[in-house]
Amino acid sequence: MATITAEHLTMTYAGRTAQDPITALDGISLQVAEGELVSLVGPSGCGKTTLLRILAGLEQPTSGHYQIRQRDPDRPPVAMVFQQAGLFPWLTVTQNITYGLRLRGLAAAEQAALAQRWLAAMSLERFAHSYPAQLSGGMQQRVGLARAFAYNGEVLLMDEPFGALDAQTRLLLQQTLLETVAQTRQTLVLVTHSIEEALTLSDRVLIMSARPGRLIGEIGVPFARPRDAITLRAEPAFSALVAEIWGSLRAEIEQARQAELHAA
Ligand SMILES: Nc1ncnc2c1ncn2[C@@H]1O[C@H](COP(=O)(O)OP(=O)(O)O)[C@@H](O)[C@H]1O
Ligand SMILES: [Mg+2]
């Protein structure tokens, strides 16, 4: 049974003038099975963030509907990792991680144990009492990941979570994500601009068109788990799939670029 079901989601933002509305999403329908890892690729501005924000309950679609089926009433349905880490600057690393847990009413000891576990998983123990501004961008992003994992939503929505990181940190965190979702059995929807990252991390890659975003293709990822983020790239089947997805995306990226040039 599907954990996420979306039907005909459309999102139109009011533009600068009443004549100038922006249709970000146009009739997106998708299903994501329980425990499935799906990634979403598409040209910039095609509505990927909008789609995640709708699924997270942060935006109301203009039309269409969606459902997130919760199996465990004691677990929050959704956790989201934002493109920018989105930490509260006035809270310490630990306080940032426990913020949502406190809102959920977890006992202090339980909050502390979860914070400790995920700080360790992200190699951040030494920074438990630091403030975000004292950390590098990569460390801040790891705090955002620790916060989402500690929150333990049944569905994990990630919006280009590794986009701002250097290549080595990115590979290490991809590996951490692979190991973590294997343990937590979360359902994942990951937005990424990296085709390699999409193939490394997911079971299925959904391809979006240039704005207004529609789903134009879907590729099943055949690699067995557990996967290794580094050795996977050496497989010939991996580069063949990169080329196939790139083939679908290329015209859309070109179209998005033309649209940007005309808007400028
Ligand atoms: N709050 C908003 N108000 C108006 N337009 C928006 C808003 N958020 C996004 N958009 C527009 O919707 C389109 C899709 O944006 P977004 O979902 O951020 O795309 P992506 O994440 O794929 O780059 C873009 O043209 C963007 O400018
Ligand atoms: Mg985005």
By alpha-carbon position, which residue is closest to atom 14 of ligand 1?
47
Q: What is the whole-number distance in angstroms between the Cα of residue 125 and the centre of ligand 2?
A: 30
Ligand approaching nearest to the C-alpha of 45: 1
Helix axes 108-121, 93-103, angle to 10 degrees: 130
Q: What is the whole-number distance in angstroms between the Cα of residue 24 and the centre of ligand 1?
A: 6
Cis-peptide into 212, omega within 30 deg? yes
Q: Which atom of ligand 1 is nearest to the CA of 11?
A: 12
Cβ–Cβ < 8 Å for 248, 207: yes
Q: What is the whole-number distance in angstroms between the Cα of residue 165 and the centre of ligand 2?
A: 16
Q: Output 230-235 pairs: Cβ under 8 A, ≥24 positions apart.
A: 230/171, 230/175, 232/199, 232/200, 233/196, 233/200
Q: What is the whole-number distance in angstroms between the Cα of residue 46 and the centre of ligand 1?
A: 7
What 8-state DSSP symbol labels residue 213? B
Q: Which amino acid is located at 118 in the chain?
A: W
Choose among 87, 182, 84: nearest CA to 127. Answer: 87
Q: Chunked in runs of 10, what are the mean pLDDT values of the chain (264 residues)?
A: 92 80 94 96 94 95 95 88 88 96 94 95 94 92 92 94 85 88 91 95 96 94 89 93 94 87 76
pLDDT in the model for residue 20: 81
Ligand approaching nearest to the C-alpha of 160: 2
Q: What is the whole-number distance in angstroms between the Cα of residue 179 and the centre of ligand 1?
A: 32
Cβ–Cβ < 8 Å for 173, 142: yes
- The count of other CB atoms within 10 Å of the CB of residue 16 is 8
Contacts of 239 (CB under 8 A, 6+ apart): none
Q: What is the whole-number distance in angstroms between the Cα of residue 149 and the centre of ligand 2?
A: 21
Cβ–Cβ < 8 Å for 78, 55: yes
Choose among 68, 64, 66: nearest CA to 10. Answer: 64
Could you tell which of 49, 54, 83, 206 is best to mutate to test the pocket of ligand 1, judged by most ligand atoms within 8 Å of the CB?
Answer: 49
- Can you read off the two tokens belonging to residue 164? 């701002």
> What's the count of helices (H) and strands (E) in the chain, helices before strands?
7, 9
CA distance 200 to 219: 13
Cβ–Cβ < 8 Å for 79, 57: no
Cβ–Cβ < 8 Å for 160, 191: yes
Could you tell which of 11, 12, 13, 52 is best to mutate to test the pocket of ligand 1, judged by most ligand atoms within 8 Å of the CB?
Answer: 13
pLDDT in the model for residue 256: 85
Instruction: Please write down the HEC assignment for all residues of 29-66.
Output: EEEEECCCEEEEECCCCCCHHHHHHHHCCCCCCCEEEE
Most distant CA atoms of the chain, gap in Å: 56
Q: Which atom of ligand 1 is nearest to the CA of 53?
A: 17
Q: Which atom of ligand 1 is nearest to the CA of 15?
A: 4
By alpha-carbon position, which residue is closest to atom 3 of ligand 1?
13
The set of protein residues with a Cβ atom below 6 angstroms from ligand 1 is: 13, 22, 24, 42, 44-50, 211
